[in-house]
Structure formats: structure tokens, C-alpha cells
């Protein structure tokens, strides 16, 4: 994450959407506080810039998080939009990409 962004923006709407797939708030924040792979989410960036982050939780579960960065006053906030555990094909692609970047 960019150094100037470290606060999370939660409300009932995004909390429920993120938790509906069984992902906890602490897993999402933990992933985004580490060094996940981040890419722009061009398909969903019509109204605001969206990003996706993929990585493993502290317990090793592969996680996919969609988020945006919003300004509130003088603060930049990370607003998770959706989260879920990765599917088998996504895990395989994540692992394959990881081995390429480690070479």
C-alpha cells in the first residue's frame, strides 16, 4: 500500500459485502497491511479508480480483495469493496506468477 494510506473505511455496506464470502475484516486488513500483489481493476473503474489485491492471509489462505482509495478530509482511506477466497485456477495462476517474480 502507498505509505500515506493506512486507515480503513468501513460501514455496513462494504462490511456485509466483504463478509458474505466468509472473509473476516481482520483477514482483509491483514492482507492489505502486508505486501499483496496489486493491480488496477479496469473493468470496475468507471466511477472511481478500483484496484485488486491478491495474496495470502496470515493463516496462508489465498485471498482476493477489491478496493478503492478515498479521501476524507486530509486522510487517504482504503475502502475494501469486496473480498473472497481465491478459486483453484486463481491460486495456480498466483503461484505461477510468484515463481516468475522470484527468479
Determine the pLDDT at residue 75. Answer: 86
Element (H, E) at 40: strand 37-40
Structural domain boundaries of the chain?
5-101
Q: Helices 25-33 and 12-19 meet at what angle, rounded to 10? A: 90
Inform me whether the pLDDT recorded for 99 exceeds 60: no
Report residue 77's pLDDT band, with 50, 70 and 90 as the boundaries. Answer: very high
Determine the pLDDT at residue 62. Answer: 95
Determine the pLDDT at residue 102. Answer: 47
Report residue 103's pLDDT band, with 50, 70 and 90 as the boundaries. Answer: very low
* Residue written as grid cell 475484516: 25
The share of the chain scoring above pLDDT 90, in percent, equals 59
β-strands 5-8, 62-72 pairing: unpaired
Amino acid at each position: 500500500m502507498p505509505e500515506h494510506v493506512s486507515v480503513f473505511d468501513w460501514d455496513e455496506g462494504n462490511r456485509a459485502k466483504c463478509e458474505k464470502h466468509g472473509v473476516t475484516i481482520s483477514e482483509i486488513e491483514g492482507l492489505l497491511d502486508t505486501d499483496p500483489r496489486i493491480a488496477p481493476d479496469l473493468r470496475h473503474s468507471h466511477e472511481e479508480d478500483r484496484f485488486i489485491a491478491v495474496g495470502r492471509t496470515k493463516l496462508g489462505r489465498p485471498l482476493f480483495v477489491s478496493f478503492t482509495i478515498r479521501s476524507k478530509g486530509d486522510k487517504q482511506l482504503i475502502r475494501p469493496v469486496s473480498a473472497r477466497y481465491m478459486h483453484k485456477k486463481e491460486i495456480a495462476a498466483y503461484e505461477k506468477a510468484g515463481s516468475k517474480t522470484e527468479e
